[in-house]
A and B are shown apart, each in its own frame.
Chain A
Amino acid sequence: MIKFLKDKQILKILILAILIRLLIAPFYFHPDIKTYNFQSSFLSKGVWNIYDYLKDNQESLPLKEEFVYFPLTYFVLGGYQIIAQPFLGSDFKNWLSDASEQATDKIGTFRYLFILKLPYLFLDVALAFLLMSYFNTNEKKKNVLTLWLLNPFSLILIYVYSNVDILAVFLATLSLILAYKQKFILAALFLGIGAGFKVYPLLLLPIVVLMIKGFKQKFLMIGVCISIFFVIILPFLKSTIFFQSALVSGLTTRMFIPSINLGFNETLILPIILFTILFFLGIFEKNKKEKLMVYCFSLLLILFATIHFHIQWLLWLMPVAVVLAVSNKNLLPYIFTLITMVFLIPLLYEDKSMTVSLFSVISATYNNLPTPFSLIQKFYNPYVLQSILHSIFVGASLIFIWKIVKEDTA
Chain B
Amino acid sequence: MPALLALAIRSVPDGFQSSLEWTEKIYGNMTVTQSFISNKDNLLAIGASIKNPMLINKKNLMVTIMDERGSSKIITVNGQNIKDGNFIKFTFEPIALAANHKFDVTFSSPDSTSNEAFEVFITKNPKPTDQNLTVNGQKKEGAIATVSFHKPANLISHSLNIYSQLISKFLGDRIFTIAYLFLIMIFLGSYFIIFSKKLN
> Which of A's residues lie within 8 Å of B, judged by CB?
8, 11-12, 15-16, 18-19, 22-23, 26-27, 100-102, 105, 107-111, 114, 356, 359, 362-366, 368-369
Contacts and interface: CB of A to CB of B under 8 A. Distances in A.
A344 to B, nearest CB: 16
Pick from B19, B191, B197 the residue with the most CB of A within 10 Å. Answer: B191
A362 B13 contact: no
B19 A365 contact: no
Interface stretch (B52-60, B64-72, B172-180): B172-180
B176 A111 contact: yes
Contacts, number: 78
Contact of A369 (B5, B191, B198): B5
B184 A22 contact: yes
Contact of B9 (A19, A111, A369): A369
Interface of B: 2, 5-6, 8-13, 16-17, 19, 89, 149, 162, 165-166, 169-170, 172-173, 176, 180, 183-184, 187-188, 190-191, 194-195, 197-198
B166 A12 contact: no
A19 B162 contact: no
Contact of B184 (A19, A107, A365): A19
A27 B1 CA distance: 12
Nearest to A367: B13
Pick from A18, A110, A363 the residue with the most CB of B within 10 Å. Answer: A363
A110 B191 CA distance: 24
Contacts of B183: 22
B176 A101 contact: no
Given A8-B194, A110-B173, A101 B16 contact: yes
Contacts of B11: 368
A310 B163 CA distance: 31
B179 to A, nearest CB: 9
A111 B8 CA distance: 28
A111 B175 CA distance: 9
| 10 nearest CB pairs, A to B | A107-B172, A111-B176, A363-B162, A19-B187, A15-B191, A102-B16, A359-B2, A12-B194, A101-B16, A15-B190
A294 B42 CA distance: 58
